[in-house]
Structures are given as C-alpha cells and as structure tokens.
A = this chain, B = another copy of it.
C-alpha cells in the first residue's frame, strides 16, 4: 500500500540527520496522496539508524491508522489538521532544530533579515499564538495544528508563501509540495534563524565596529609580510 510514497517519506526522514536537523528521534516527516486521502508518516520514537521504508505508517484524514505495525509519530494529529486545512501542501516536517527552536522559545517571528530568507519565505516566519491551558490538556497535538492554522488565517499569510511556522515555546513545522521540499524548507529555516540571530545581535552593537580596530601599523605589517615584493611568508616558489 502506497509503497512509492513510503519510500519517499522514508528518504525524506533520512535527510533530517544528514542535514543536522535532529537530535536522537526528535523529528518527523510525512507526505500525502491527495487522491486517496491518505498520508504516510514516520513511526514514533524509532532511531534513524534502524528505520526502514516498511516502518512507515499509513494514516487517513481523520487521523486513523490504516496500515502499519508501529505507532505513528505522536505529532500525527498536528499533521492531520495541516493536511485538512492547507490543501496545497504535499509534505510536512517537524524538528527541534536548535536555532529555530530558540526563536520559538523567545516567542519571536523570524524576521526577513535578508535575501537568503527572501529566496524561500515571502515575509517573516510567524510565531504561533500560545496554546491555552485547556487546549493543551484536551487535545494537545490536534490543537497545535489548529493554532498554526489560526495564526496563518489571522495574519493573512498564505501557507505556500511562507511554508513554515514557529510553534510558541515548542519549535518549527515546515511544509511544501512534497516531503523533500518540506525538508528543504526546514533546512533553510534553520540556516536563516542562525543568520538572523547574529544579525540581530550585531544590529544592537553597530557602534562597536570602530572600537575593535587594530593599529594601522600592525595591519600593515601583517598584510605586507604576505603580499608585495617584500613578502617573506611561505616558500619562494609559491
């Protein structure tokens, strides 16, 4: 059942450790077959080293397991809500990648700080509203999906324009036309979070640049011992 999609989802899951996006089993990827209304997702808590395509679990759009011996990811209800609410998307990724998590924990949008961000995300990546105590205690993972959808609706963001969200105090979900593109977006998000963090810190200290300058005569010495006719670094035949 859905053997090709299982292989695709398996391979997309294996990209997470390859791209340094997961610690232990803290991540999951799914992809949907829209015609059949079924999606394939990673089993819960299984090591990437031992994962096989056959371990993948098939789930319907009511969130019920249709095929598979293992429990699906505990985040399956979140994936279910997103597939139901965002009909354009074909794959979903959740990770705890550290730079993106830090923005989620700080409750900050990831700002569109430069063109690396703009190449993939059309505007800031929003941080979701906080879930209420009742939402968490009743149907936590389902409500996580709902708060993502609500955030996009309230802020008027189209899911394919900004295929990522930072769930407050938790971490990132990303999506895309396929599982592989959702993983691509998860990596871009992490790299942009790293860049924006440092940009934001530098912005605070714009005035420091002059203070760190080195005396000109020391700069001269180092530059000219490597360049020009009096250079003496390295070997003669270089």
Contact = CB atoms under 8 A, between A and B. Distances in A.
A90 to B, nearest CB: 16
B102 A218 contact: no
Contacts of A210: 111
Interface residues of A, number: 86
Contacts of A1: none
Given A98-B194, A102-B195, A102-B199, A214 B43 contact: no
B105 A113 contact: yes
Contacts of A218: 115, 118, 131, 136, 169-170
A206 interface: yes
Given A113-B214, A169-B114, A200-B205, A219 B105 contact: no
Contacts of A154: none
A83 interface: no
Interface of A: 23-24, 26, 43-46, 70-71, 74, 96, 98-99, 101-109, 111-124, 130-131, 133, 136-137, 140, 169-171, 184, 187-188, 191, 194-206, 208-215, 217-223, 225-227, 232-236, 238
24 contacts: A24-B184, A26-B116, A99-B198, A101-B116, A105-B195, A105-B199, A105-B212, A106-B199, A107-B206, A108-B202, A112-B213, A114-B170, A114-B214, A115-B169, A117-B219, A118-B219, A118-B220, A118-B221, A123-B219, A131-B218, A137-B217, A169-B218, A197-B201, A200-B208
